[in-house]
Chains A and B, each alone.
Chain A
């Protein structure tokens, strides 16, 4: 049976349920004698059954759409001239921030000068012991005082303290004006940027972004997934110790989650690279027993052979 006689189109139409009974019979008859077409029929069934909807797809799609909308917005904003109102408002905000920062710096410097003076005064001022006849050497007295960081002490010059407190209060207010609740778009954008850097081979940037994500948004799903992504990058970059930490963090938080096989595989590779043979063997065995049909199964068997 040559390829030119194969009813290629019938197979695709069969998938859509568009065959008449005669066409079905024709196809079945052909498939009995043509190995390639028999295989093709199975492949059609394989792909038809794969990629089906899963729990969590709605959220996954929402995240992906959000990320694309954010990217487009950022892309649209670049290269456009801002309006006069935007410029004016931005300038006013910058001016206000600069004023607050300057006031804080002035107050801090003022406070520091006053404190230095006060410290100097304490060195030369007579103590009660001196009055009673005992002269203390200043350096001895300093050495006896505990070394503590210098907060604004309540005994500081009362003329300075309120200004410092005002500046500190302004700083706190400015800080608390920043949003404390991260938006999903922020999380998604950061995760997307990290993944894009990784895929583009920019591993240094990928590492920075993954770490930033993990530090700023520790309790998110993106961070959990990033443990595996960053682990892989670190492993490929020759840092198995750090990589191991990442995989362990994933497995500690979500041992049965979607990337469990990948995390176990990464963990086993990291332990092998670190020459921790006993633990590596346990990891490879664990991977084989939990995911015997995965693409990592053959690799696991080969590694166990080597570790014997």
Chain B
């Protein structure tokens, strides 16, 4: 998807004039191999990345910390490929999102051959008016994530960035380095696949529609 960029060029891009991106300086130091800079970048990026990992895996999943570590490692390893066309935090969130989605796919594959080793998704009641509302929300999220597991990767990534991260079409296009029309097209295809799934699966429909009426 992204070609390898000359680290020197990347440093220049990372050092750009985007004053609103306060992680740029940490990223620049990390790219230069500075240990303190790396630690500062990871510590700052880990906060939003943890939110993303929890959204995908469920807040009570015991593997949240492991997957966060994988995502942080992935961030450092993929930093040389950062082209500077979005904010570092967006880049980090995307790494966290795809790391968590990949973890889900691995578990689902393994779950086919082992007994019910389901990822945990206990309803997080924070911010909801009632435990029932929290439970309904949790089921809806789980249902969407199950759907994303089954879609082709390119569609799933765009839908995930849209729903899980709340990115606009322009933001998704900037992150994925694809034209805006491509993002529109994938979102529409994804929503169509979504609609067909709901029509074909009564249980899924119940999970998704309950509470929306």
Contact = CB atoms under 8 A, between A and B. Distances in A.
Interface string A1-29: 00110101100110110000000000000
A132 interface: no
B78 to A, nearest CB: 13
A183 B163 CA distance: 40
A259 interface: yes
A71 B73 contact: yes
A295 interface: yes
Nearest to A188: B69
B60 A52 contact: no
Contacts of A52: 51, 59, 124, 126-127
A281 interface: no
B202 to A, nearest CB: 15
A64 B137 contact: no
A207 to B, nearest CB: 15
Given A44-B166, A47-B141, A65 B42 contact: yes
Contacts of B47: 53, 57, 61
Given A48-B166, A50-B124, A295-B120, A8 B140 contact: no
A236 B211 CA distance: 36
A43 B144 contact: yes
A38 B212 contact: yes
A69 B35 CA distance: 8
Interface string A51-75: 1111001001111110111011000
A175 B169 CA distance: 62
Contacts of B22: none
Interface stretch (A115-123, A191-199, A212-220): A191-199
Contacts of B34: none
Contacts of A36: 191, 194-195
Contact of A293 (B64, B135, B187, B212): B135
A227 B210 CA distance: 36
Contacts of B53: 51
A113 interface: no
Given A15-B166, A69-B35, A293-B123, A42 B140 contact: yes
Interface stretch (B13-21, B83-91, B110-118, B149-157): B110-118
B114 A63 contact: no
Contacts of B42: 64-65, 68-69
Interface string B152-175: 000000000011101111010000
A188 to B, nearest CB: 9
A72 B38 contact: yes
A235 B116 CA distance: 11
Interface in A279-308: 291, 293-296, 299
A232 B118 CA distance: 11
A8 B122 contact: no
A258 interface: yes
B166 A236 contact: no
B168 A12 contact: yes
Nearest to A226: B62
B69 A67 contact: yes
Interface string A176-210: 00000000000000001001100101000000000
Given A36-B195, A236-B114, A68 B166 contact: no
A248 interface: no
Contacts of B121: 294-295
Given A60-B65, A65-B43, A43 B141 contact: yes
> 5 closest Cβ contacts across the A-B interface?
A51-B54, A51-B55, A51-B51, A15-B166, A293-B135
Given A47-B166, A259-B62, 17 more contacts: A3-B192, A8-B162, A8-B169, A8-B184, A35-B209, A35-B212, A38-B212, A39-B208, A43-B163, A52-B51, A72-B76, A192-B69, A228-B62, A236-B115, A295-B121, A299-B116, A299-B118
